[in-house]
Amino acid sequence: MSTFVDEKPTQNLEPFKGVKKVPQEEYYTSGHRTCQGCESAQIMKLMAKAAGPRTVVLGSTGCMYVANTSYYATPWGVPWMHTQLGSSGSSALGAAAAFRVQMRKGVMKDEPINVIAFCGDGGGADMGLGAISATMCHPDYNLLILMYDNESYANTDIQISGTSPYGVNTSFSTPGKVKRIMNHRWKKNMAPLMMVGHPTVKYVGTISTSYPLQAMNNVRKALSIGGPTFIHCLNPCPKGWDFDPVLSFELGELAVNTGIWPLYEIECGKLTLYGKTKDIANGRFKRLPVRDYLLKQGRFAHFIDEDIEYFQSKIDEMWDKWLVPGIIPLQKEIEADTPPAR
Amino acid sequence: MATLTIPVEEKKKTHEQEALITGAEAIAIACKLANVDVVTAYPIRPYDTVMQYISQLVADGEMDCEYIVAEGEHSQFEIVKHASACGARVFCGSSGVGWMYAMECLTVTPALRIPMVAMVGNRALDDPGAFGVEHNDALSVRDLGWMLTWVDSAQEALDTALIAYRVAEDRRMFVPLAISCDGAFLTHSQALVKIPALEQVKKFLPPYNRGDLLLHPDNVISVAPQANEDWVMEIRRQNYAVTEIACDVIREVYTDFEKTFGRKYGNPFFEEYMTKDADVVLLGMGTMSTPVKVAVRKMREEGKKVGFVRLRWFRPFAGPEIAKCLERFKAIGVIDRDFSFGSPDLSGVVATEVRSAMYTSAATRPPVLDFICGLGGREVTVPDVEKMTEITFEAAKGKAQPLTQWIGLRG
Amino acid sequence: MGQLFAVEVIYRGVFQKTLAKNITRGIVLAAHNEGKLGISFGRYGDSPERNGIPAKSFAIVANDEETLEAGMAQYEPKQVDVTVVLDDTLCKGAESWAWSGLQPVHHALKPGHTLIVISLEDAPALLKNIHRRKEPYKLGIVRGVTSFSGMWVYKDDHTDVRILGAIAKALPKLMSLESVEKFINEKLKNSLKVTTARNAFERFTAIDVKAGEGNPEEVVKVGLPRWEDMRCGVSIKGQAQGGPFADPVTGEVGGFRPVRNELFTKYSTRTQRPVVNFATCTKCTLCWLNCPDGAFDITAAGTYDTNFEACSGCGICEEICPVKNCITMVNEDEFHDNNSQWAAFEKDKGAYLKWLETTIKKADPIKNRSHGFRYRGQYQEQVPEAMEIANKG
């Protein structure tokens, strides 16, 4: 018997069959004051395009709040409401509950309304983790929580969050005269956390703005599968990661091709890898060295070779030792973690 | 002759009922009568019995709402905030530090014009973790644009909950409202309460209409864009405009309440008890009114001319009206079931506000003394009240008294 | 009241953040060597900065405490004695992160005072972009490659001290060259930089710009509403839906143009813009699909036309376009209008393609079009060339 309640889709959102079939309408346009090359803005655009006009967006505090609806202007062509930094989970639940009850009581037209709450990695992996977790348990409410991950609290001028990479330079983890590495934390494994920790969630996935078609289609799937859903997107950030904005798309690809950012969907418990990740897992593509990715970004410019090797070893471990490679960090043997002196 | 028996359910629609219920249950019943759409719950004593009652009402099919148990007060309040933004009539509540945990949400709701009605089961703030009554939890939002009212009986709790929805959802207002019920005394003790008929409530309370602020695909708006120094003053000024007319709206609603339900509250902002020819009065909020009124009656029998003013509405604070009421007395003793460390004269919140109102709006300048009493659920006893009255009389005679005194304290 | 000096530095957000701060701090510390007091600060409203979006940094200096306080009594000076522009594409004006509406680059400059611009262009070229104003002023060019770095890795190509040297020449009452040199020796401890500053001082000249001389474009101003007229509940109307539009040349209605928000445009965010070869374009959609600013209008013919209201000049479109040399990023200095390239192409394909060819030739090779970090060691490689170019000036 399936864990998953009521498997009928809530609405019919067909996947876009190719870039030329992507609708031209934009529900997130200009007016935002994001950086040149901001991939977080890009996922907002794709998310809104994928969801369409029958959508309500709750935007928690972060770059996609402050740099978007800046100073009484807005780029949103669908209804949008600010919510607090840790409230992506609760705001989505509140909106979904309100629509559900009003439709049931007959005071609101009964139709599928997309409820999407977005959060940055700061708001999602740190402050708002509890609220998202609670919301993931509620099978009655259809909603999507999309976490755009630029690997820092970007809006406050770049500080480490729970998803920042090991050793990264930010204004709260500056390399200095005595300490080269201030951030000892390894990146949180958010999507698997959401899936494994909440067994009735029907859809959890990772996406990348370097795979725009798949990203949009995964959003559409999450919006029609029913119940609470979670998508984690990696968004290269020219400001925080310190790189020429021209490289935004390329760095997204490199993150995938080095195995650092695996692409997959978990639909009703079934795991499917996609993109280059699939080829990495089945041996058809050899992971590029992490050095190629790290040294294109100023935030890793202070790394010595030992740091890069350590980083590589952790990625190798993800793919060579994890029982579900790239995704679930359970291992058969205990092995020591040996970072270089910091 | 055959008698026509109306089934109980039908009776509830058209006839007033009477029941023996707590203040918390009274509010739960008000939510049911008001056809609340979304309720969020999180356990903390003593408010949470209201949520237990609502849970039962939902399970028994007596109330149709989304009933969501949150994982913390911050989320609890955020959920109903957004539900309200999307058109749902909402109810929420908390006590003590639970209310404080929701503070970020409480802060943003007035500017967002969210007419949520919340019950605060007043409880002492941690630390220590006592769950007896203290008013600081609800009072902590007094600057933010919330409406605040204190009730002292289960009947008043039910009536005020209905009034609250009507006031909060008035388009001229559209700000959140907290109904404070003293923990234990009001939340847990049962009294006889008249429950209005559903039809009457429907007449009194129109459906919640969010108008052009509604968050829905048919209304493309952006709510709460980022602002800078070019915008904040104007935004705050809009909430200020609400406070300018709040007293008028409240008066209107109480008048309509009386017309609809036949129960008269008179002056909505405060109740006067035996003040007609009083020389001194005591002033306070909440269930301390019971021991105070008992003591006042006793002292009156002894020939002492004392009265009691019970504040109902703390926000809006009907300053000119309160000042005009108090200016005729020789001395006033404010009983603060709260603290305000470091305040002027080290007095509690209510005394500080009363003094401020009198300074600007009273024709006379009687001494206003402050008594810190009953914190953490400690009883305000009849002897305590007599003592406070005696001290106030001394002040009335012209004998200087300390501006702040702690009553019922060991030490 | 004593003498009060204000210097503003207009720069590209994030890319020149550290450089701007180094300059304004340098002014205060150098002036302090002559006994003056001062403060240095970035504009609060500009923070957090965004890549490319113009920002301002200030130095206020006075002879005495009270005069300094008078200068500090406002958030930012309404009038400055010197305006420094660290990227010459900013000469088109600054639509700063903190505001709505475009401000000419000399918006705060006192009449008769000096605008200092880092550029490889000459004054007539810059004056095509700098808006005309009612009052005359002086324009001085510090020859040099625009210095861009980022949040964590700094490119030290001596731009900071070159500017200090130029300011000392333009406004000797603020600080002398000796004061600047003393600051460099004591605080920066870099004798090479002393030489750079001195050379910049000696070379610096400014020409007079007459009243009414410059770019005739009318500048957009945005007004602010009264509280009574503002929608309540901190709400504003959302973005309207765009739709098909008439082709600028054929008049055929089709495609899609999103409604663009007038309250913030990206005209002044750009340091470079894409030029498109519509003849070789395969209409693959990738530029349009992957533009974070949604800057492409889809024409009725199905081509993708950059809308310069929204284009921030990031260059992703060039990187992602699968056709060689179809999209090329070119320095914003080369352009003096924001007209549709598609319209120009349709009007006269031959002329457009010729223009395209010459324009692209003027574009720097990609390694020099750096606006930011590409690989570790890059800045160390670029500095010697940047120094050489500057020294030629």
Residue-range domain boundaries for chain A: 19-320
User: Is pLDDT of B183 > 80?
Assistant: no
C356 in a domain, yes or no? yes
> Span A13-34, mean pLDDT?
94
Cα(A262)–Cα(A143) distance, rounded to whole angstroms?
Answer: 24
β-pair type (C206-209, C137-143): antiparallel
Q: Do A31 and C239 form a contact (C-beta atoms < 8 A)?
A: yes
CA of B53 vs chain C CAs: smallest distance (Å): 33
Element spanning C127, H or E = helix C123-127
Cβ-Cβ pairs closer than 8 A, B with C, add up to: 51
Share of residues in chain A with pLDDT > 90 (%):
91
The 10 Å Cβ neighbour count of residue B257 is 21
Query: Among candidates C178, C185, C196, C167, which has minimal Cα distance to C35?
Result: C178
Does residue C330 share a domain with residue C196?
no
Decide: residue B229, CB within 10 A, 0-12 exposed, 13-18 middle, 19+ buried: exposed
Q: Domain check: are C60 and C185 in the same one?
A: yes
Q: Which residues of B touch A55 (CB under 8 A)?
A: 217
Nearest in space to B385 (alpha carbons), one of B289, B277, B270, B259: B289
Confidence of residue A157 (pLDDT cuts 50, 70, 90): very high
Does the beta-carbon distance from C292 to A155 stay under 8 Å? no
Query: If you ran DSSP here, which 8-state letter would residue C188 be given?
Result: I
Q: Which amino acid is at B82?
A: H
The full DSSP string for A173-220 is S---SS-S----PPPP-HHHHHHHH-TT--EEEEEETTSHHHHHHHHH
Residue C22 sits in the same domain as residue C151: yes
pTM: 0.96
Q: For A235-289, what is each residue's pLDDT tens digit? A: 999 999 999 999 999 999 999 999 999 999 999 999 999 999 999 999 999 999 9
Statement: residue B35 has pLDDT above 60: yes
Contact yes or no for A243 and C150 at CB 8 A: yes
DSSP codes joined into one string, B268-324: SSEEEES-TT-SEEEEEEGGGHHHHHHHHHHHHHTT--EEEEEE-EEES--HHHHHH
Give the mean model confidence (pLDDT) for residues A34-45: 97
Interface of B with C in 234-253 (CB under 8 A): 234-235, 237-238
Q: Could C230 and B234 be called an inter-chain contact, meaning their C-beta atoms sit closer than 8 Å?
A: yes
Domain containing C11 equals 4-209
Q: Which of C76, C221, C234 to mutate to test the interface with B (most CBs of B within 10 A)?
A: C234
| C238 confidence band (pLDDT: 50, 70, 90) | very high
Q: At B179, phi and psi to the nearest 5?
A: -100, 120
ipTM > 0.90? Answer: yes
Report the pLDDT averaged over residues B352-373. Answer: 98
Residues from chain A that touch B85, judged by Cβ atoms under 8 A, are: 81, 94-95, 98
- Is C152 close to A242, i.e. CB distance below 8 A? yes
Same domain, C30 and C155: yes
Contact indicator for C93, C131 with CB cutoff of 8 Å: yes
Helices A88-104, A129-136: inter-axial angle, 10-degree rounding: 30
Residues of B with Cβ-Cβ distance to A108 under 8 angstroms: 87, 216
C217, part of any domain:
no
| pLDDT value of position C369 | 62
Q: Specify whether C252 is located in the same domain as C203.
A: no
Q: Determine whether the interchain pair B74/A54 forms a contact, defined as Cβ–Cβ distance below 8 Å.
A: no
- Put simply, whether A6 touches C (Cβ < 8 Å) is no
For chain C, strand residue ranges (E) read 4-12, 37-42, 54-62, 80-85, 109-119, 137-143, 206-209, 235-237, 243-246, 253-257, 272-276, 296-298, 304-306, 327-331
- Tell me how far apart the alpha carbons of residues B37 and B208 are, in angstroms, rounded to a whole number: 10
Same domain, C205 and C256: no
Taking CB atoms and an 8 Å limit, are A89 and B75 in contact across chains? yes
If one counts the domains in chain C, the total is 2
State the pLDDT confidence band at A70, using cuts at 50, 70 and 90. confident
Q: What is the CATH number of the domain that holds C328?
A: 3.30.70.20
Q: Do B230 and A95 touch (CB under 8 A)?
A: no
Distance from CA of A330 to the nearest CA of C (A): 35
**Residue B29 has what pLDDT?**
97
C393 in any annotated domain: no
Nearest to C30 by CA among C185, C135, C152: C185
pLDDT tier for residue C368 given thresholds of 50, 70 and 90: low
Q: Which CATH superfamily is B13-261 part of?
A: Thiamin diphosphate (ThDP)-binding fold, Pyr/PP domains (3.40.50.970)
pLDDT of residue A1 exceeding 70, the answer is no
Domain layout of chain B by residue ranges: 13-261, 270-406
Chain A residues within 8 A of B82 when measuring between CB atoms: 58, 81, 83, 90-95, 98
* pLDDT at residue B185, as a whole number: 75
Which residue of C286, C293, C370 is in closest CB contact with A244? C370
Query: Rounded distance, CA B53 to CA B32, Å?
Result: 10
Instruction: List, for residues C12-66, the tens digit of each pLDDT value.
Output: 999 999 999 999 999 999 999 999 999 999 988 888 999 999 999 999 999 999 9
For the record, the structure tokens of B2 come out as 């055959």
Contact A77 B105 (CB under 8 A): no
Question: Is C200 domain-assigned?
Answer: yes
pLDDT classification of C367: cutoffs 50, 70, 90: low
Confidence of residue C365 (pLDDT cuts 50, 70, 90): low
| A130 at interface of C, judged by CB pairs closer than 8 A | no
Sequence-distant (≥ 6) Cβ neighbours of residue A271 within 8 angstroms: A264, A265, A324, A327
Q: How confident is the model at residue C370 (pLDDT cuts 50, 70, 90)?
A: low
Give SS3 for B116.
Answer: coil
List the chains bordering chain B where 3 or more Cβ pairs fall under 8 Å.
Answer: A, C
Residues of A with Cβ-Cβ distance to C312 under 8 angstroms: 35-37
Which residues of chain B make contact with C75, given a CB cutoff of 8 A?
Answer: 229
Q: What is the DSSP string of B229-261?
A: TTTHHHHHHHHHHHHHHHHHHHHHHHHHHHHHH
Q: Which residue has the tokens 């149709």?
A: B64
Residue B257: which pLDDT band, with cuts at 50, 70 and 90? very high
Residue C196 and residue C64 share a domain: yes
Would you say residue B3 has pLDDT above 70?
no
Please calculate the CA angle C233-C239-C244 and round it to the nearest 5 degrees: 160
Span C179-207, mean pLDDT?
A: 96
Please give the average per-residue pLDDT across B148-164, as a whole number. 97
Q: How far apart are CA B123 and CA B133, in angstroms?
A: 4
Domain membership flag for residue C232: no
Integer Cα distance of A263 and A278 in angstroms? 8
**A2 — pLDDT class (breaks 50, 70, 90):** low
Same domain (yes/no): C205, C253: no
Residues in chain B: 411
Please check whether the domain covering B270-406 is classified as CATH 3.50.50.60. no
The greatest distance separating any two alpha carbons of chain A, rounded to the nearest whole angstrom, comes to 66
- For B268, what's the count of Cα atoms within 13 Å in the CB-facing half-sphere? 26
Residue C24 and residue C138 in one domain:
yes
Decide if A65 and B226 are in contact by the 8 Å CB cutoff. yes
Q: B70 CB contacts (<8 Å, ≥6 apart)?
A: A90, A134, B40, B41, B42, B76, B79
Q: Is residue C383 part of a domain?
A: no
Give DSSP secondary structure letters for B123-192. -PPSSS---S--SHHHHTTTTTT-EEEEE-SHHHHHHHHHHHHHHHTSTTT---EEEEEETTTTTT-EEE
Q: Which amino acid is at C389?
A: I
What is the predicted pLDDT for the residue at B1? 44
Q: Do C314 and A77 touch (CB under 8 A)?
A: no
In the numeric block, the tokens 């810190």 are attached to B372
Quote the CATH superfamily of domain A19-320: Thiamin diphosphate (ThDP)-binding fold, Pyr/PP domains (3.40.50.970)
Asked if the C-beta of B113 comes within 8 angstroms of chain C's C-beta atoms, the answer is: yes
Distance CA B285, CA C18 (A): 57
Residue B80: list chain A partners with CB under 8 A: 94
Q: Sort C169 into a burial class: Cβ within 10 Å, 0-12 / 13-18 / 19+.
A: buried
- Which of C241, C269, C319 is closest, CB to CB, to A77? C241
Query: Residue C203 is inside which H or E element, if any?
Result: helix C191-203
CB contact under 8 A, A101 and B66: yes
User: Which residue out of A55, A58, A90, A109 would a mutagenesis test of the B interface target, given it has the greatest number of B Cβ atoms within 10 Å?
Assistant: A90
Cβ within 8 Å of C, A 90-119:
none
Look at residue A71 and tell me whether its pLDDT is greater than 90.
Answer: no
Mean pLDDT across A204-215: 98
**Angle formed by the axes of helices B232-261 and B103-112, to 10°?**
90
Distance from CA of C228 to the nearest CA of A (A): 16
pLDDT cut 90: percent of chain C above it: 85
To the nearest whole angstrom, how far is the Cα of B303 from the nearest Cα of chain C? 54
Does A289 lie at the interface with C, CB-CB under 8 angstroms?
no
Same domain? For C49 and C100 the reply is yes
Q: How confident is the model at residue A325 (pLDDT cuts 50, 70, 90)?
A: very high
pLDDT tens digit sequence for B291-350: 999 999 999 999 999 999 999 999 999 999 999 999 999 999 999 999 999 999 999 999
